[in-house]
Structure 1
Amino acid sequence: MTTHIERLIQQLDDPTGPSYDARAELIDMGSDAIPAIIDGLPSLDGFGQLTAIEVFEEVGDPRCGPALIGLLKSDNPTVREWAAMALASLDIDGAVEPLRRAYRACLERATPPDWSEPVGIRPPG
């Protein structure tokens, strides 16, 4: 049986409207929703992952750090960029080296420097 929170997480993938309501409800649940979102993250498509990143940023729970670090290896450049920016805005411990690796991977892919991904992933210092 699917729980209410699991249904909300599944709705994060629906760009036609339900994702916005699910996003708002998950944000209202706050830190209580974070473990379930982390568990459901691999089942989400790019849109759902981007919406989950928004929830992570709004809630500000540092437990999402490892999940965001994992998203730095996504096939989706926008997911990688948003995950990097969320790691920076949430000041997640242990994120500097993964961000450096993600930036090097971006350079190895020869992503043009004027695209938004290299700017979003650029490591500090």
Structure 2
Amino acid sequence: MALADQDNPHTTPLLQARDRCIVELRYGCGLRVGELVGLDVAPGAGAAGWIDIGDASAQVLGKGSKRRSVPIGRAALGALEAWLAERSALAPAGEPALFVSQRRTCLSAAKSARA
């Protein structure tokens, strides 16, 4: 996908890996923004959604609090694996959220100029 392959010269490679993963999962899997930012790295008691790499799927909590399983395609899996390899440099220890901001907190669906 051309959008996912765009490089921003004002963004670090770490954030480029995160942003590429976001784009691939958002459009490749058809996730809503709320579902995307609600993803955790692994299932947990408070997880709204999580990634199952072994099954190549995302478990998401959608509208009406309905849980659904979404397949993850090859391009999104590649972007996900690249992001997970880099994620520990940004995410504080014990942070369950898949996507974290430059401020080392989970991303939210709220509009932000500095994510």
Output the TM-score relative to the length of structure 2. 0.29
**Higher-RCO chain (CA-CA 8 Å, sequence separation at least 6):** 2
Higher percent of residues as helix = 1
Where is the strand percentage greater, Structure 1 or Structure 2? 2
Please, what TM-score do these two structures have when normalized by structure 1? 0.27
